[in-house]
């Protein structure tokens, strides 16, 4: 009886063939810069109710901003719960933003310490970028808005002054959001976030062309695996401050209109572009394929001997 040789073909690792790459991810907010009232408890970021809250971090050094490519989608995701109180129906009071400090190798606009009881710093007047300004407790009101940072206001978040619509169709209203044929319908009446459930907000930015950015967001109850609401919007004819391709800052927060305290567990920023394997990875993968083929040839030869 001829001995059958089993040949195993080892493919490139999942990390090398990943459908997306991680730009930034954290489950510990201890390294974030705080403004006004948020606190860090057990690594989580906890906002203070009825007060403007702001927190930010940088994922790129000055002059080395992450630049989005045409066709690429950046996804900013945050997981949180309501620590205490209740979510209030008030438009543009919950901020999830991706910004550019416009720092260079010679001019650093990034802050290096907490904001000393404020959401403002003179450096923030240089910032541009995009923001998802939400109503986290809506009742027949605006659910969210896709904005760009249009002014030279010194607040990082918490003030609507520097923000303007990035698209006329980007305001989302109830009861149906996004494309009616595919987007969920908001449950009748109002809903309230509570501390017995965990939630996720996913905010995407896609560079569709040299003058267009497409946006989307989904808010989900991760405890029940259900979508609360979702929406899409397109900004066309963008230029200047309304068309931003470089990013180095994530900033989140709430305004004083929110009487609930929110606890953020983690925040991540990912890209739709798969990471490019290093030359050594290509060589390893090619070498494994060669070994597999050699083994197959030996097996085939043994069968015909």
Provide the residue-wise pLDDT of the chain in tens; the chain has 305 residues: 332 332 333 333 333 344 689 999 999 999 999 998 899 999 999 999 999 999 999 999 999 999 999 999 999 999 999 998 877 777 778 899 999 999 999 999 999 999 988 899 999 999 999 999 887 765 545 667 788 998 888 999 988 888 777 754 444 433 322 333 333 344 444 456 888 899 999 999 999 999 989 888 888 899 999 887 777 888 888 888 889 999 999 999 999 888 889 999 999 999 999 765 555 544 555 555 545 555 556 655 555 55
ω before 175 within 30° of 0 (cis)? yes
Provide the token pair at 86.
Answer: 């209740």
Q: Given this model, what pLDDT does residue 285 score?
A: 53
Residue 174 and residue 224 in one domain: yes
Residue 285 and residue 187 in one domain: no
For residue 3, the enclosing domain spans 1-18+280-305
Residue 106 and residue 206 in one domain: yes
Residue 253 and residue 298 in one domain: no
Task: Judge whether 100 and 152 are in contact, CB under 8 Å.
Answer: no
| Alpha carbons 285 and 58: distance in angstroms, whole number | 34
Q: Given this model, what pLDDT does residue 23 score?
A: 97
**Residue 48, CA distances (Å) to 52, 74, 93, 196, 253 in order:** 8, 29, 13, 18, 10
Residue 257 and residue 204 in one domain: yes
Residue 198 and residue 110 in one domain: yes
User: Which residue in 249, 276, 170 sits closest to 217, CA to CA?
Assistant: 170
Q: What are phi and psi of 286, to 5 degrees?
A: -65, -40
Long-range pairs for 217-225: beta carbons < 8 A, 24 or more residues apart = 217/132, 217/134, 217/144, 217/146, 219/134, 219/136, 221/197, 222/79, 222/197, 222/198, 223/196, 223/197, 223/198, 224/197
CA Rg value for the chain: 23
Q: What is residue 106's DSSP assignment?
A: S
CB count, 10 Å around CB of 293?
12
Q: Going along the chain, which residue ranges are E strands?
A: 21-26, 33-36, 39-41, 44-46, 53-58, 66-67, 73-84, 94-100, 128-134, 144-149, 163-165, 198-209, 212-221, 226-235, 246-247, 249-254, 261-271
Residue 234 and residue 116 in one domain: yes
Residue 284 and residue 255 in one domain: no
List 234's β-bridge partners, or say none.
Answer: 214
Q: How many folded domains does the chain comprise?
A: 2
Q: Given this model, what pLDDT does residue 99 score?
A: 97
Q: Given this model, what pLDDT does residue 181 score?
A: 31
| Alpha carbons 216 and 4: distance in angstroms, whole number | 54
Q: Given this model, what pLDDT does residue 242 score?
A: 87
Tell me the CATH number at 53. Answer: 2.60.120.200
| Alpha carbons 156 and 124: distance in angstroms, whole number | 6
Residue 38 and residue 187 in one domain: yes
Per-residue pLDDT tens for 248-300?
999 999 998 888 899 999 999 999 997 655 555 445 555 555 455 555 566 55
Task: Judge whether 152 and 184 are in contact, CB under 8 Å.
Answer: no
Residue 93 and residue 36 in one domain: yes
Q: Exposed, middle or buried by CB within 10 Å (0-12, 13-18, 19+), for 266?
A: middle
Residue 14 and residue 28 in one domain: no
| Alpha carbons 171 and 178: distance in angstroms, whole number | 10
The pTM assigned to this predicted structure is 0.79
Residue 185 and residue 217 in one domain: yes
């Amino acid at each position: 009886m001829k001995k059958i040789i089993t040949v195993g073909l080892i493919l490139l690792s999942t990390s090398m063939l990943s459908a997306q790459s991680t730009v930034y991810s954290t489950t510990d907010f201890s390294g974030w810069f705080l403004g006004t009232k948020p606190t860090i408890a057990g690594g989580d970021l906890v906002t203070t109710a009825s007060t403007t809250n702001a927190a930010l971090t940088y994922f790129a050094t000055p002059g080395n901003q992450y630049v989005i490519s045409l066709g690429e989608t950046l996804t900013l995701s945050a997981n949180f719960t309501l620590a205490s109180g209740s979510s209030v129906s008030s438009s543009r009071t919950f901020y999830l933003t991706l910004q550019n400090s416009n720092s260079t190798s010679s001019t650093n606009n990034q802050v290096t310490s907490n904001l000393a009881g404020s959401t403002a710093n003179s450096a923030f007047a240089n910032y541009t970028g995009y923001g998802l300004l939400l109503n986290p407790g809506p009742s027949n009101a605006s659910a969210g808005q896709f904005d760009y940072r249009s002014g030279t206001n010194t607040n990082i978040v918490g003030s609507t002054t520097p923000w303007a619509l990035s698209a006329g169709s980007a305001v989302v209203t109830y009861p149906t959001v996004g494309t009616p044929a595919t987007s969920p319908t908001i449950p009748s009446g109002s809903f309230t976030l509570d501390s017995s459930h965990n939630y996720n907000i996913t905010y995407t930015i896609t560079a569709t062309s040299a003058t267009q950015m497409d946006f989307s967001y989904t808010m989900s109850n991760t405890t029940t695996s259900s979508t609360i609401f979702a929406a899409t919007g397109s900004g066309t004819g963008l230029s200047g401050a309304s068309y931003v391709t470089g990013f180095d800052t994530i900033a989140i927060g709430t305004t004083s209109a929110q009487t609930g305290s929110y606890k953020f567990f983690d925040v991540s920023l990912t890209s739709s572009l798969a990471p490019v394997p290093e030359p050594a990875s290509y060589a390893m993968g090619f070498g494994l394929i060669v070994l597999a083929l050699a083994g197959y040839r030996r097996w085939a030869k043994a069968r015909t001997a």
